[in-house]
Amino acid sequence: MALLLSPAGNAKCFAAAVQNGADEIYLGLSSFSARAGADNFSLENLGEWVRYGHVRGVKVHVALNTLLKDSELPLALELAREADRIGVDAFIIQDVGLAEKLAGIVGAALHASTQMSVMNLAGMKLAKELGFSRVVLARELSLEEIGELAGTGLMETEVFCHGALCMSYSGQCLLSHYTTGRSGNRGTCSQPCRLKYSRTGERRDEKHLLSPGDLCTLPYLDKLVATGVTSLKIEGRLKSPEYVAAVTAAYRRALDDPGMDVSGAVKDLTVVFSRGGFCSGHQLGKLPLSAVTANYPGKTGLPCGRLEGRLTVFKKNGIDLFSASVKASEPLSTGDGIAFDRDPACGGVINIIEKNGARAATLFAGEKGKITVSGTVPPGLPQDLSGKDVRISKTSDDAFIKELRKTFAPGAEFRRVPVTARLFASSGSTVLEFSDGFNTAASSIPLTAGTQAPESTLSEIISATGGTPYDVTSAEISSDCGFVTFSTLKKMRREALSALTSLRERRVTK
């Protein structure tokens, strides 16, 4: 099965990725990251999060993926050496000079960034010669081309499976640098592709002609996995922890249950973040014109109904509000966000839903009701909406967001490492041992003769690992393990699991 690689622009995103099923996480440091606008991590807190990931079986990749000036190379090398000492698992690199300096020096693997535009076998061979063990393939490749390169077995391969797309070839865009002096290859892309342009030179004809919709491979994930690619990468180091949680969880479920119906997941992700729906990028053929979000380059949400009847716009306590009748095509609840299709910058949060003359929490698909929204309406929208086809989209789902936030709340442990436990006697000692299948850790006390508690009671105490990242799948209790007080057994459990944690914190090598 392909690995799942999730983004982390900050600590909350890191926790969201881990707890929702990522196998690998990529992040940036304070310098030399292609997402300089993210919060990113420092050498001071990197170790904490590397250990957090490793304990839960997740590898950590550090993106040092900008092009470097000669004067910056010493600092980049020192940054990489420090991160390597901390125990990161891989570096994502674009600058071949940096790669050449690090190859054979650091213990972490080197991954060739998609910014290197590797799109054929010659590129892969060169990457391997430079010391790379994995290549993030260019986003312009089709599934067939990805399969051909992954099938060579020359090195590990990685491809994007979800998120924002560049209109230009990977790593080759100079538009931002040309127009603003901010280079995408230096981590400061100003995203000029999201601006308006005109094909005629007339301002009235301006549209977002270079803005592609986001990639979503869920509908054909089985075909992408069948290419033999090593890792599937989710774009989004500038996105929220809720986004990371939702996308990671959706792809985790789809990978674990091939053939499942993903239509509900696609709708959820369309609400969380999408630009006029999703597209397949170049993977199912060259990017079609329909994938260009010409009318609006930002978040648009999931079409959820249309407003009808009379629109009332008013203020209360200085807050802009509006109300109107609505026919829902998707469920709408209080607390959900909506936007107008004709101008997605307008809309707001649903405060009140009325159905059949009474307050209601939810308006279901096919139902009619009235909504009151704290927000704004598009300029020039008439009060009488009869026959106007005023469509709205859902841009946030309050209940869904609350569930997502639980997964990365402080102390949350939804990602549990399966371990086995044994309580037995050995060389005059009573030993409690935990194993994750690779690492084994134990705590022991001098053996004391006496009648032991019932096996079920001992097993229950040993398995009480709430608040830890461990889940005891089986507990073997030997009949000769001697007498152990409950408080002592709990202390042994804490000590053994702490020792196991220390073993798992090291760089993941399996």
DSSP letters of 466-493? Answer: TTSSEEEEEEEE-TTS----HHHHHHHH
Summarised one tens digit per residue, pLDDT across range 37-94 is 667 899 999 999 999 999 999 999 999 988 999 999 999 999 999 999 999 999 999 9
pLDDT at 182 over 50: yes
* Cβ(275)–Cβ(293) below 8 Å: yes
Q: Is 289 exposed, middle or buried (0-12, 13-18, 19+ CB in 10 A)?
A: exposed
pLDDT band at 404 (very low <50, low <70, confident <90, very high): very high
Can you tell me whether residue 49 is helix, strand or coil? helix
What is the distance between the alpha carbons of residues 431 and 488, in angstroms, rounded to a whole number? 12
- Residue 176: pLDDT above 90? no
CA distance 416 to 490: 19
The domain 3-166+214-260 is placed in CATH, from the list 3.40.50.300, 3.30.70.3400, 3.20.20.380, 3.40.250.10, at 3.20.20.380
What CATH class does 302-407 carry?
Answer: mainly beta
pLDDT at 280: 96
Query: How far apart, in whole angstroms, are the C-alpha atoms of residue 38 and residue 50?
Result: 18
For residue 73 the two structure tokens come to: 């190379």
**Tens digits of residue pLDDT in 466-497:** 999 999 999 999 988 989 999 999 999 999 99
Tokens representing residue 276 in the block: 């006029």
| Residue 111, pLDDT score | 98
The pLDDT value given to residue 448? 92
At which residue do the structure tokens 């030997």 appear?
A: 478
Gyration radius (Cα) of the chain, Å: 27
pLDDT of residue 232: 98
How confident is the model at residue 510, as a pLDDT?
Answer: 44
**Residue 61 contacts residue 421 (beta carbons within 8 Å):** no
- Local structure of 440: helix, strand or coil: strand
**How many Å apart are CA 192 and CA 179, to the nearest integer?**
8
CA-wise closest residue to 2 among 166, 170, 162:
162
pLDDT digits (tens, 9 = 90+) for 449-460: 888 899 999 999
Q: Which helix (DSSP H) or strand (DSSP E) does residue 144 occupy? A: helix 143-150
For residue 97, name the pLDDT band (cuts at 50, 70, 90): very high
Q: Are 53 and 87 in contact (CB under 8 A)?
A: no
Q: Which among 76, 4, 15 has a CA at the least distance from the CA of 51?
A: 15
HEC readout, 2-41: CEEEEEECCHHHHHHHHHCCCCEEEEEECCCCCCCCCCCE
Q: What is the largest CA-CA distance in the chain?
A: 93
Structure tokens at 99: 């790669």
For residue 47, give the nearest of 85, 86, 10 by alpha carbon: 86
Task: Tell me the per-residue pLDDT of 223-279, one tens digit each, with 9 for 90 and over.
Answer: 999 999 999 999 999 999 999 999 999 999 999 999 999 999 999 999 999 998 999
Residues 165-175: tens digit of each pLDDT: 988 887 788 88
Amino acid at 204: R
- Over residues 334-362, the pLDDT tens digits come to 999 999 999 999 999 999 999 998 999 99
Q: What is the pLDDT of residue 201?
A: 85
Residue-wise pLDDT tens digits, 195-212:
999 998 888 889 999 999
Residue 313's DSSP bridge partners are: 322
The domain locations on the chain are 3-166+214-260, 302-407, 417-504
Average pLDDT for residues 373-396, to the nearest whole number?
95
Average pLDDT, the chain: 94
- pLDDT exceeds cutoff 70 at 429: yes
